Structure 1
Amino acid sequence: MTTLTDLPAVTDATFAREVLAAPGTTVVDVWAAWCGPCHQLTPVLVDVAAELGLRVVALNADENPVTAAELRVLGLPTVLVVRDGEVVGTLVGSRPRRALREQLERVLEPA
Structure 2
Amino acid sequence: MDEELERIRRKKLEEMKKMANEPKVDYPNSPVKVTDGTVDDVVARYPLVIVDCWAEWCGPCRMVGPVIDDLAKEMAGKVVFGKLNVDENMKTSTKYGIMAIPTLLVFKNGELIDQMVGAYPKNTLANKILKYL
TM-score, reference length from structure 2: 0.69
Identity %: 35
Alignment of 1:6-85 (within 5 A): 7-19=31-43, 21-53=44-76, 54-85=79-110
Moved over 3 A (4+): none
Shift of 1:42: 1.6
Does the Cα contact within 8 Å between 1:45 and 1:100 map onto a contact in 2? no
Question: Structure 1: any 5+ residue segments left out of the alignment?
Answer: 1-5
Q: How many residue pairs end up in the alignment? A: 102
For residues 32-53 of structure 1, the C-alpha deviation after alignment (integer angstroms, 9 at most, x for no partner) is 0101111111211232343334
Shift of 1:68: 0.7
Question: Structure 2: any 5+ residue segments left out of the alignment?
Answer: 1-29
Residue equivalent to 2:11: none
2:128 partner letter: Q
Shift of 1:27: 1.1
Aligned-residue Cα RMSD (Å) equals: 1.7
The structure whose RCO (Cα within 8 Å, separation 6+) is larger is 1
